Amino acid sequence: MLAADLLVAQNVGFYLIAAVMVVGALRVVTSNNVVHAALWLVVVLAGAAAQYVLLAAEFVAITQVMVYIGAVMVLFLFGTMLTRARIGAETDLNNKNWILGVPVAVLMLATMVIALNDGFGNERLPLDAAPVNTRTVSDQIFGDYLLPFWALSFVLLAAVIGAIVLARKD
Amino acid sequence: MLLNQFLILGAVLFCIGVYGVIARRNAVLVLMSIELILNSVNINLLAFSLRNGSPDGHTFALYVIAVAAAEVGVGLAMVLLMYRNRRSIALDDLAEMKG
């Protein structure tokens, strides 16, 4: 195997970002403070955007930063602000039988890792793949996938109207 | 880079998200765990898109992001309504329909 095939820089970047993402995700589900959980979620989402760049998907990465880190996180912080009486750590954020989640998650992870190793093993990502640029993506959205795009527009419209109807005071 | 390293990262994030959905009692934290699950799906879609050399995965990842944004909007509106009616957003308090 040639040293050039190993892509040392990309691999180091991948494992660094992946470690940060896993730690952040664990803090999201174990933190005792809702605001801290939201801020750890920002770390995970930013790491996901970096992984998209490594996967040569720059338009999706930019969209991730703008929609998730920009809009969704503001919504989460607003939701936290509007629904909380206390500031700081809370003790009753978990269910009484939260421990049941651990074996479920571990078993599911073991099954997935075995299945993925079995199915894809040492398959490498192609180095010479033609990059998918934004023009190709937009040709897809407004060409082959136009009908799902329309459906998505109605989903967003329904979500906007539904959110206003649910949240207004009367 | 191996294809598997991205898929396993997606699997790890997915399982952490599933644990969060099971273990958390606070409705906002359950919504955050769902966001983790949706992001792991996006990583898988983009990894397979690069492997197959096709732009379809990018399109679906964008659709997933849009649906996730809509879901958070409606979900947080529901949480707000729940808080307004019951002064609590603990999910196990919602037991009126339990037989």
Q: What is the pLDDT of residues A30-60, one digit of tens each?
A: 998 888 999 999 999 999 999 999 998 999 9
- CATH classification at residue A50: 1.20.120.1200
pLDDT at position B96 is 79
Rounded Cα–Cα distance for residues A165 and A65 (Å): 28
Q: For residue A3, is pLDDT > 60?
A: no
pLDDT at position A85 is 55
Full-prediction pTM beyond 0.80? yes
* pLDDT tens for each residue of A126-136: 877 777 889 99
Quick check: is A108 in a domain? no
Q: At what angle do helices B27-52 and A73-83 cross, to 10 degrees?
A: 170
**A10 touches B at CB < 8 Å:** yes
- In chain B, where the domains are located: 27-92
Quick check: is A52 in a domain? yes
- Count up the domains in chain A and report the number: 2
Q: Which residues of A touch B4 (CB under 8 A)?
A: 116-117, 120-123
* pLDDT tens for each residue of A58-87: 999 999 999 999 999 999 998 888 887 566
Rounded Cα–Cα distance for residues B35 and B46 (Å): 17
State which fold the B27-92 domain adopts.
Answer: Helix Hairpins (1.10.287)
Looking at the structure, tell me whether residues A13 and A74 fall in a common domain: yes
Q: For residue A88, is pLDDT > 70?
A: no
pLDDT at position A80 is 86
Domain that holds residue A169: 132-170
Q: Which of B22, B29, B67 sits opposite A104 (nearest CB)?
A: B22
| CB pairs A-B closer than 8 Å | 256
Residue A4: pLDDT band by 50, 70, 90 thresholds?
low
Average pLDDT over residues A127-153: 89
For A157-160, the CB contacts below 8 A with 24+ separation are: A158/B70, A159/B70, A159/B71, A159/B73, A159/B74, A160/B73
Q: Which of A52, A109, A152 sits opposite B15 (nearest CB)?
A: A109
Residue A114: pLDDT band by 50, 70, 90 thresholds?
very high
Decide if B31 and A76 are in contact by the 8 Å CB cutoff. yes
